[in-house]
Amino acid sequence: MVNTKVKLCGIELDNPIIPASGTFGFGYEFAELYDINILGSLSFKGTTLEPRFGNPCPRIAECDSGMLNAVGLQNPGVDKVIKTELPKLREVFRKPSMANVSGFSLEEYVETVRKLDTVEDIGWFEINISCPNVHGGGMSFGTSPKMAETVTRAVRDVTKKPIIIKLSPNVTDIVSIAKACEEGGADGVSLINTLMGMRISLKTRRPIIANKTGGFSGPAIKPVAVRMIYQVYDAVNIPIVGMGGVSNAEDVIELMLAGATAVEVGAANLVNPYASRDIILDLPRVMEKYGIKSLEEIIGGAH
C-alpha cells in the first residue's frame, strides 16, 4: 500500500495534485464531470481587486507540444468571487482551496488578500507576481528580487494563512527571487509560470495573438521547470509547488524528485478535462513501479 499524502505549509493533502490557476475555472465547473474531492487541492482562477475583461481576442494559439495564452486575468473581481463563485465551489468541494491573487500595485495585492482572508475554506494564498500577459503589473513584480520581497512583506502583514509566491521563469536568476520571497516571509514558492512566446501567421504575416506575446505552457516547458525547481530547492528552506508541462504521473514524480512538495497541473486540463483525476488515479501504479512507498520521502530525492 503506497502513501500519496503530503504536507504543504502545514496542511495535509491526500495527494500532491493541484489543478493550476487559470486552467480549472473556479473548480465547480469540473464537478459536473467528476468528484473533484479526489484532488489534493485546487488553485482557483486568478483574482484581482476589480473586475477584468482580459485581453482582446484572439487569446490562444496552438504550438508544437504546447500552447500560447494571453487571457489577461479575466475575472469578476474579488467581491463577486467571494459572493458568487466561492459559495458554488463550497457546495462541491470539501477541502481547503488555494486563492490565486494578482494585482497591478502593492495596494491591490494587499486589499485583495485582505478581503479573501475572511473566507474560511481558503487554505493558502498563491500570490501571482509572474503573469506575462498583462501590462503594468503581474510579472513586473516578479523580475526583481527587491520588488518580490516587497510584495511578500506587504501581503504577509494582512494574513496569517500560508503565502506561496508564484515565480516567473522569464528572469536571469530565479534563485535570487525565490530567496527574496523567503526573506520577505513567504511560506512557499510555486514555479514555473509560463514562458513568454509568440506565434506569427504565415497568411496574415502578423502575430496570431492580439496581445502579440503570450504565455507558453505544455509538455515542452517541463525541462525548464525541472531545472528551476532543482535550483530553487537547493537555495531555500520553504516548500515548492512545482508546475510546468505536467501531463502524467511520471512527470509528477520527476518534479518531486527535483524538489516539489506538491505539483500543479495546468495546460493538460485544457486538453483533457479529466487530466488531474487521471494522474491521481495512476499515481499508485507509478509509485509501485519505481519502488516508492511514500511521496513525502522522495521530495528533493534527486539532490
Please list the active-site residues. Answer: 131
Would you say 43 and 100 are in contact if contact means Cβ atoms under 8 Å apart? yes
What whole-number distance in Å separates Cα of residue 145 and Cα of residue 168?
12
Task: Report whether the peptide linkage leading into residue 76 is cis, meaning its omega lies within 30 degrees of zero.
Answer: no
Q: Which residues pair with 126 in a beta bridge?
A: 100, 164
Lookup: cell for 164: 506561496
Cα 75 from chain centroid (whole Å) = 16
Our CA dihedral for 140, 145, 146, 151, rounded to 10 degrees, sits at 60
What whole-number distance in Å separates Cα of residue 57 and Cα of residue 269?
21
Closest CA to 106 of 132, 75, 125, 127: 127
Dihedral sign (CA 8, 13, 16, 22): negative
Would you say 292 and 5 are in contact if contact means Cβ atoms under 8 Å apart? no
Would you say 60 and 68 are in contact if contact means Cβ atoms under 8 Å apart? yes
Closest CA to 174 of 229, 214, 223: 229
* Residue 99: strand, helix, or coil: strand
